[in-house]
Structure 1
């Protein structure tokens, strides 16, 4: 039988986790600043505990969400929230669109800075390249995104692994000293919950990537694996950063700080390319979720969504996000904005899914 007829372990179990990582990484830890904001105040060990807690929350929410989506035959986030919250599903869509605008705007600005730093381009060039790639790839649907995530994930995991090895060789003693000398600070539970909550939106955005699953067991295994797959790069990055605790906590871009300490221009170039790839992954994951939502509406009306229509919608979303962000100054809201969205997602996604979702799964078990 063909691969399409008999999806393998990678497609059924690993791919959803890679897609979840893709949605998380761009706004979650690509530059390291996000991890510092949520975890450095708790000290090196407290930060590790917070990251571990966030990983557990990601796995639990992904597991319940994937199983619940299978049980109610949901292919996109609207179907899941309609089954979970009834007419309250609209609350998630409004919050998601606002969050997507914020994330796309911030990532566009970051891509512009990468282009300027590496090639001396005007800032708009890097932003335009990122936007064009997001639009082009999402125009061909979930299958195109899956192919990208296969190769981009190899680059991302490989780069973070090399980064960790180089950091251990260069300043590994600082990592050990920080772990030995710094006490466990307060706030790691709150930091872990908030950080997990604003990123866990990926659990419902990656539902189109569950199309290869064939059983409840697939959904459970993929959900449990999603947390570690998404957190592993962040954990390696965090361990590198704590070599310079607490100094690095006040640095705007911890990644640049560490790359400067390594003093390896070739790796700095590779790392910047990896960050651009991470931004691309996140943009594709977020826009593809909205495209699939629109495609479901089109199928319901009997008019399948064409690639041209997908491209038009993706372009409207990406370009519109940049325009709105520039007009209303959304980029300046990143620090407070991400924290606020974390609490909002805790209320409308994490708590309902882990309570109502779990109750309905247990009340009406699905196949093994």
Structure 2
């Protein structure tokens, strides 16, 4: 259910940014207090715990995935790979939102291009096989290890979309660049269309190798390339794509919390002193976050992360998605609107 997941994510992100622009709150702590209103004493800390927990887990997964991919593709040590990825994320984070946005734009374009280059040839070449595997899957000929009804599949799609909504705290800071509601709406619609398209490309690309055990692979996309159309150069391309994606994930999530911690560190300083110390505080915050995420990846907690994501999905739905959408639709009015 990629479309369902991306719709939930897009709608929540759109309303989150609308709220941020409306009340001029671009720090996720202040934003959450505004969103939760009278329930903020309980819900705002709950969101902070949820957001930072997902930040650590998601960034650790990014480190581990990028490190493992490089290790398998070019043979460099996993530890070295994750250190390099951590260093890149750290540098991009401490240079502020302008560089982060610029990097995110370039990275997004690279990823979109890579996805199309990698999956379209495989989908076209293996299209008859995709149809065969799809029919076999529906008939129950393949044992994927998951026996789900339509309702179960829909529920997982909803949970996955809700899980992604945890990251809104990292993205609302970028609302400063696009505070206009019509601009935010265009961004949300375009993001939904692109993300949904990419998800379906990935789905059909993987479907071509369903009968070869692709779902048991740690990195299915790498399996598709190594066993599909393209050969060596495609393997290089998917490696770049995965590593760039790991950096993109880390930068987006770490920067959002770095901004929050920087404000926290300077909370007792006057305006001039806070501005003077902001660069230093940003470096300290980035180091703390990157090191924690890197350590989680090294400690072998990635399997636990995978198991925890399902539970975090419905928690995020209750803590983030439902309140934000209710606020956005006007079903839960702000105190100033009553």
TM-score of Structure 1 vs Structure 2, range by shorter chain: 0.7 to 0.9
Instruction: Give a deviation string over 1:192-221, Cα, whole Å, max 9, x none.
Output: 111111112233321121112242222233
- 2:9 pairs, out of 45, 58, 61, with 58
CA distance in 1, matches of 2:191, 2:168: 9
Q: 1:197 aligns to what?
A: 162
CA distance in 1, matches of 2:217, 2:18: 41
CA distance in 2, matches of 1:354, 1:153: 26
Q: 1:133 aligns to what?
A: 88
CA distance in 2, matches of 1:361, 1:218: 24
Does 2:307 correspond to 1:332? no
Q: 1:312 aligns to what?
A: 284
TM-score normalised over the length of structure 1? 0.78
Residue 345 (structure 1) shift: 0.6
Q: Secondary structure at 2:126's aligned position in 1?
A: helix
Unaligned runs of 5+ in 1: 1-49
CA distance in 1, matches of 2:53, 2:286: 15
Q: 1:213 aligns to what?
A: 178
Does 2:77 correspond to 1:105? no
Residue 80 (structure 1) shift: 1.7
CA distance in 2, matches of 1:82, 1:362: 14
2:254/2:286 contact within 8 Å kept:
yes
CA RMSD in angstroms, aligned pairs only? 2.5
Residue 102 (structure 1) shift: 1.5
Residue 110 (structure 1) shift: 2.1
The equivalences for 1:286-301 within 5 A come to 286-297=253-264, 301=269
Q: 1:76 aligns to what?
A: 27
Does 2:124 correspond to 1:173? no
CA distance in 2, matches of 1:278, 1:142: 18
2:90/2:286 contact within 8 Å kept:
yes
CA distance in 2, matches of 1:59, 1:100: 19
The equivalences for 1:1-368 within 5 A come to 50-85=1-36, 86-87=40-41, 88-179=43-134, 182-183=137-138, 185-186=149-150, 187-245=152-210, 247-262=213-228, 264-297=231-264, 301=269, 302=271, 303-304=274-275, 305-324=277-296, 326=298, 329-359=300-330
CA distance in 2, matches of 1:331, 1:181: 32
Q: Cα 1:242–1:314, aligned 2, differ >3 Å: closer, same or farther?
A: same
Unaligned runs of 5+ in 2: 140-148
Residue 58 (structure 1) shift: 1.6
1:59/1:226 contact within 8 Å kept:
yes
Aligned length: 316
Q: Secondary structure at 1:335's aligned position in 2?
A: helix
Q: Cα 1:324–1:253, aligned 2, differ >3 Å: closer, same or farther?
A: closer
TM-score normalised over the length of structure 2? 0.85
CA distance in 2, matches of 1:168, 1:110: 24
Q: Cα 1:334–1:194, aligned 2, differ >3 Å: closer, same or farther?
A: same
Instruction: Give a deviation string over 1:45-70, Cα, whole Å, max 9, x none.
Output: xxxxx111112112221222121222
| Bigger mean CA deviation after superposition, 172-181 or 332-341 | 172-181
CA distance in 2, matches of 1:153, 1:273: 13
Q: Cα 1:363–1:114, aligned 2, differ >3 Å: closer, same or farther?
A: closer
